């Protein structure tokens, strides 16, 4: 529960504007103008020995993070102070160090030395495990506050109790080259009441896609991309943003013995309409080299590639902008995984406005089958473009009846496993879970025809014989672009 203290009392006790004028100027400032949070707090990138907290302050003054083992704050065990600056939109990211792994802590914020009267209670969060541990990730994409200001999916996410939440792009629908417009929408999204409890207790990590990068379908040729990047850095507490010699929002996060590679599919992207050959890139040379080096160096049982757009061939149609129209580069990455004998790679993605669980059958090329779980949308109109699309293999039927959220459950004991599920707006699982083990993700292992639903295998067989995947051939003149972008 949130309290607004003397402001609400003041407004309730005032029956006319004349009542306001009875207050001296200093007294009115004390009620309405004290230092506080405008948006947040929001927990950011976790580590075994630290917690990260983001907040947007109401002015350019010192913001202090205090962390304690108990809610009474009898002993503050970690603290950091950062000056909020107007040039950063008064957004600050604070990090408390020297904490214990896999431990729950209480935290609170002070603004110009004062506790926030509108948020009088401290919040709880947790540090990351120090090694392998069981944990849960929730993720999603396409969150349009202009479409849905209530966003009931967040109640589902909160009930699922993930250890981290991943935003996979189109986190706002800015569709603008104006940084102030992007910042305004980030601020509005952070105040969604169903979302606020999740932000304050669960670590949040994010990449972008076209609608929060710029305009629909925008790419690395955009002259406005540095302005968008600047705003993104202000509003997301990721562990890093690109590299010193390569801008972007890509980074690596390790947690519980799993490595997550968050990819930037926009800043360095070539135009979608370019010919798909070795010269066409979504990642850019530096990011691709970083990814390959990270995969080669990783000792994690599972390695998750996090993309704003799908990995399968589903959107290789005209108007699509997923990896389906960057197939040469996609296959280069998957060939690298095979040739260097890198096991345990799986993918997650967003953007498509429907839930998907697809497979790229790399076992046919000497590797292993790579699975891609897509969650979309969180708060946007679902789409029916699956009727004209065909990925390599659909493991489960597409889900476009409601908004949805993806879940990854990692069991990291003696027999590690990864379970992939998708949940609808009521919280129900929409499919049977897909369970993967390290043995499933090793070169030479074919699993797709065992893991897929029998109904999807029948549809695939019909399609390969020249029929329509869903039993109906597409009529001539069928739209070649999604209705919902």
What residue has token string 């993104």?
A: 232
> Is 0.85 surpassed by the pTM of this model?
yes
Across 40-60, average pLDDT: 98
Res. 475 pLDDT band, cuts 50 70 90:
very low
Q: Could you give phi then psi for residue 456, rounded to 5 degrees?
A: -70, -35
Indicate the range of 99-108, 398-407, 465-474 predicted with least confidence: 465-474
In the prediction, which pLDDT does 290 show? Answer: 98
Residue 79 has pLDDT above 80, yes or no: yes
In the prediction, which pLDDT does 91 show? Answer: 98
In the prediction, which pLDDT does 468 show? Answer: 79
How do the domains of the chain map onto residue ranges? 1-33, 36-126, 135-464
User: Taken in order 415, 418, 424, 425, is the CA torsion positive or negative?
Assistant: positive
pLDDT digits (tens, 9 = 90+) for 3-23: 333 333 323 333 333 333 333
Which H or E element spans position 183? Answer: helix 179-190
Across 393-405, average pLDDT: 96
The secondary structure of 308-362 as a DSSP string is SS-SSSTT-STT--SGGG-HHHHHHHHHHHHHTT---EEEEE--SSSEEEEEE-G
Across 237-252, average pLDDT: 98
Across 396-414, average pLDDT: 97
Superfamily of domain 135-464: Alkaline phosphatase D (PhoD) (3.60.21.70)
Pairing of strands 355-360, 345-349: unpaired
pLDDT digits (tens, 9 = 90+) for 297-340: 999 999 999 999 999 998 877 778 999 999 999 999 999 999 99
Round to whole Å and give the CA distance between 299 and 433: 26
Across 105-134, average pLDDT: 97
Token digits of residue 432: 């049977």
Residue 274 has pLDDT above 80, yes or no: yes
In the prediction, which pLDDT does 320 show? Answer: 84
Q: Which residues pair with 165 in a beta bridge?
A: 138, 204
Say how many C-beta atoms besides its own lie within 10 A of residue 225's C-beta. Answer: 21
Q: Answer whether CATH 3.30.830.10 is correct for domain 36-126.
A: no
Across 352-381, average pLDDT: 97
Res. 25 pLDDT band, cuts 50 70 90:
very low
Residue 2 has pLDDT above 80, yes or no: no
**Sheet of 135-140: strands edge to edge?**
204-207, 164-168, 135-140, 404-411, 417-424, 434-436
pLDDT digits (tens, 9 = 90+) for 276-305: 999 999 999 999 999 999 999 999 999 999
**Burial class of residue 364 (count of CB atoms within 10 Å of its CB; 0-12, 13-18, 19+):** exposed
Residue 480 has pLDDT above 60, yes or no: no
- Whole-number CA gyration radius for the chain: 24
């Amino acid at each position: 529960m949130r309290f607004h203290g003397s402001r609400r009392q003041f407004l309730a006790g005032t029956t006319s504007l004349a009542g306001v004028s009875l207050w001296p100027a200093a007294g009115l400032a004390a009620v309405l103008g004290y230092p506080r949070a405008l948006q947040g707090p929001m927990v950011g990138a976790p580590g075994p020995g630290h917690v990260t907290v983001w907040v947007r302050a109401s002015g350019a003054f010192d913001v202090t993070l205090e962390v304690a083992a108990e809610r009474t704050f009898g002993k503050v065990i970690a603290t950091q102070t950062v000056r909020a600056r107007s040039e950063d939109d008064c957004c600050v990211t604070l990090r408390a160090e020297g904490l214990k792994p896999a431990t729950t802590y209480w935290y609170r914020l002070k603004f110009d030395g004062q506790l926030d009267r509108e948020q009088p209670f401290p919040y709880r969060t947790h540090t990351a495990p120090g090694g392998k541990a069981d944990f849960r990730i929730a993720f999603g994409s396409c969150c349009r506050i202009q479409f849905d200001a209530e966003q009931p999916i967040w109640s589902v996410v909160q009930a699922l109790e993930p250890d981290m939440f991943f935003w996979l792009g189109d986190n706002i629908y800015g569709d603008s080259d104006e940084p102030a417009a992007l910042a305004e929408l980030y601020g509005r999204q952070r105040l969604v009441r169903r979302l606020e409890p999740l932000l304050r207790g669960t670590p949040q990590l994010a990449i972008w896609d076209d609608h929060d990068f710029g305009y629909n379908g925008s790419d690395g040729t955009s002259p406005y991309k540095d302005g968008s990047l600047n705003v993104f850095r202000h509003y997301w507490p990721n562990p890093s943003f690109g590299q010193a010699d390569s801008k972007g929002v890509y980074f690596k996060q390790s947690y519980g013995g799993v490595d997550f590679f968050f990819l930037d599919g926009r800043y360095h992207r070539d135009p979608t309409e370019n010919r798909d050959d070795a010269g066409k890139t979504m990642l850019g040379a530096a990011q691709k080299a970083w990814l390959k080096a990270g995969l080669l160096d990783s000792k994690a049982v599972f390695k998750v590639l996090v993309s704003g757009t799908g990995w399968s061939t589903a959107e290789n149609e005209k108007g699509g902008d997923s990896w389906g129209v960057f197939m040469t580069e996609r296959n280069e990455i998957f060939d690298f995984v095979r040739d260097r004998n890198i096991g345990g790679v799986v993918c997650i993605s967003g953007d498509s406005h429907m839930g998907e669980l697809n497979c790229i059958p790399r076992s046919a090329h000497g590797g292993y089958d790579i699975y891609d779980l897509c969650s979309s949308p969180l708060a946007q109109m679902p789409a029916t473009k699956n009727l004209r699309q065909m990925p390599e293999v659909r493991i489960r039927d597409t889900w476009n009846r409601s908004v949805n959220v993806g879940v990854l459950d990692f069991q990291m004991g003696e027999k590690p496993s990864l379970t992939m599920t998708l949940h609808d707006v009521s919280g129900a699982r929409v499919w049977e879970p897909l369970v993967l083990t390290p043995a499933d993700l090793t070169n030479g292992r074919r699993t797709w025809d065992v893991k897929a639903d029998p109904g999807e295998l029948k549809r695939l067989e019909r399609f390969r014989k020249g029929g329509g995947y869903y039993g109906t051939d597409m009529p001539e003149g069928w739209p070649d672009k999604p209705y919902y972008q």
